[in-house]
Amino acid sequence: MKVLITGGAGFIGHNLARYLLAQPEIDGVRVIDDLSTGNRANLDGIDVEFVEASILDYPALVEAARGTEAIVHLAAIPSVPRSVANPRASHDANATGTLNVLEAAREAGVGYVAVASSSSVYGSNPTLPKSEYAWTRPMSPYAVSKLATESYAIAYQFSYGLKTLAFRFFNVYGPGQVAGHAYAAVIPKFLDAALSDRPLEIQGDGTQSRDFTYVDTLCSVIHQAVVGQIASTDPVNLAFGTRTSLLELIELLESQLGRELPRVHTDPRVGDVKASQADSTRLRELFPDVVQVPLEEGTARTIAWFEEGSAR
């Protein structure tokens, strides 16, 4: 089986490419990425076929899809604050880009598409844990664009018989996730600050909670989905029902690093969700064999990757 990964030069994308190529069912991986948020160096040493192009370049996307049997659609402009700063760019990449991917799949004869949605679609719904059958109320343009992403994927299953699966990613972390930009995720941002002897910036009071998912666990689920051509007419949370506050995360990092980490509090982010926790019932039904990497183990691996990078 040959797989196309959109956004394959990004954090999740290059980890997925490496993971898939280690599996016996996968004959090859092709990556399409315009490198606007990804990095070509992420794919160094990974035997992929690389296409430098945007998913908004429809002819290039169709050509990249030809000869593949499945598409994993990760390409997006990530980040809530980035979407608040530039909502049109997020819509174009995330909503229109997804439409292009699904149309390219149809035109190129690709039978299966898995897409990355986000827990941000739950927005102001206060219910915990978050069930896929609960109502959604996006609080940012990014969340709206991700609701469009999953809605298009599901609609194409009903309208055209295309096998699709929309995963709602929660807070994915792990090796390869960098912190050197304004929209960095919280774990690499904290680790970069800690290893550079800077205070950890906490936006808000730190009691906001997240359901962290280690990247290899996510890759394992996507691998099973692609190989098994697992489809669903409902979105599926890709997280395991954990709930860790930022203050608890910092305590864990302090324990693993063996020292106290200074902190500074700033204003909460606009459009940020206070609490996030997945109901993993549907995930367990579809992927009963998946084994979650615990947060303690995942952060230890991530710290080791950061320390290795800083030692070079």
Q: Write out pLDDT tens, residues 32-81.
A: 999 999 999 999 999 999 999 999 999 999 999 999 999 999 999 988 88
130 with 204, same domain?
no
Q: What is the pLDDT of residues 133-180, one digit of tens each?
A: 999 999 999 999 999 999 999 999 999 999 999 999 999 999 999 886
- 80 neighbors 120 (Cβ within 8 angstroms): yes
In a 13 Å sphere around the CA of 298, the CA atoms on its Cβ side amount to 22
Whether 126 is covered by a domain: the verdict is yes
- 142 neighbors 90 (Cβ within 8 angstroms): yes
Give the chain's domain count.
2
201 with 146, same domain?
no
- 100 neighbors 34 (Cβ within 8 angstroms): no
222 with 259, same domain?
no
Active site residue 142: yes
93 with 109, same domain?
yes
| Cβ atoms within 10 Å of 107's Cβ, excluding its own | 13
Catalytic residue of the set 19, 58, 142, 152: 142
162 with 202, same domain?
no
Instruction: Report angle CA 151, 243, 180 to the nearest 5 degrees.
Output: 75
pLDDT range class, residue 311, cuts 50, 70, 90:
very low
Whether 180 is covered by a domain: the verdict is no
- 98 neighbors 166 (Cβ within 8 angstroms): no
> Omega into 129 within 30° of 0, i.e. cis?
yes
